[in-house]
Amino acid sequence: MKHYLAAVLAATLMLTACNGASNAGNTATDSIAADSAALAAPPADPMTAPSIQPNEDGLITLAMCPTKNDYLRVEVNADKTEVNIFQGNKLFQVIADEDPFTTDGGETTAVHFMDANFDGYTDIFIGEGAPRNYSTLFLWDQENKEFNRTGPLGEPMLQGFMLHVPTKSVIEGGSASAFAYLITRSTWSAEKLQPTEELVVVNGGEEFYEEYEVSAPYTLREPESGKVISSAQRASALPQFWSSVLQAYEIDADR
């Protein structure tokens, strides 16, 4: 009987040892597989757009966009007529024109990085987006591996530039005069901005309605036809989207 119990105990110990060795082998195999998968994964595209968290209304303002990029460096000459784009320390692309890319004053030129057309790649905004001044937007062309300017020089002006992430649209505008503001929402079509809505805000009184072809302080209309979509006496009566935009612009013509 003693010999029988000893034999059973020995067999049990041997089985436990074998299972332990098998589990250890599986763990080692899993570790090797994980390392191989990590080595096989392609490196992240350095042109991937920076991650920018929009505000609670889904808006990204120019001030929220980074002015530095881990992969790109942008230098603008004193006349603002030449943009040198570096990848690391290597000059990658030179974009030049007879006229300045921005009419913003100052010795230095503001540069911001963003995903302006919502394609996942980094775009470059030159200028401060200041009212009654124009700035320039360069979109990254992933297929041709180069930056291209959006529209002709100074068009669109890109003043008061903002992005609305939920609708993938671009907002631009600001003071049209001392008595009115003009704000446009546009969407992208073949790398060009197509205006879809235009909000006219008149804060100078009814005597200026005729000049801007409106009948209320707030008028939302189609940019091409001028057809009125809606009008309101107070900003709060506008669609929520436009109320949020006006708040971001700090525009209030309410009586």
Q: What is the pTM of this model?
A: 0.81
CA end-to-end distance (rounded Å), the chain: 104
HSE-CB for 161 with a 13 A CA cutoff: 28
CA distance 119 to 168: 10
pLDDT value, residue 5: 39
- CB-based contacts of 171: which residues, under 8 Å, 6+ apart? 59, 160, 161, 162, 163, 164, 183, 184, 185, 186, 245
Task: For residue 237, give both structure tokens.
Answer: 């009566």
CA distance 195 to 158: 12
HSE-CB for 84 with a 13 A CA cutoff: 10
pLDDT value, residue 122: 98
Give which of 184, 192, 87 is closest to 148, Cα–Cα. 192
**Residues in the chain with pLDDT < 70?**
1-43, 253-255
The per-residue pLDDT for range 14-24, each reduced to its tens digit, is 444 445 544 54
pLDDT value, residue 106: 81
The per-residue pLDDT for range 46-90, each reduced to its tens digit, is 999 999 999 999 999 999 999 999 999 999 999 999 999 999 999
Delimit the domains of the chain by residue range: 48-156, 167-255
β-strand partners of 198? 184, 221
β-strand partners of 184? 172, 198
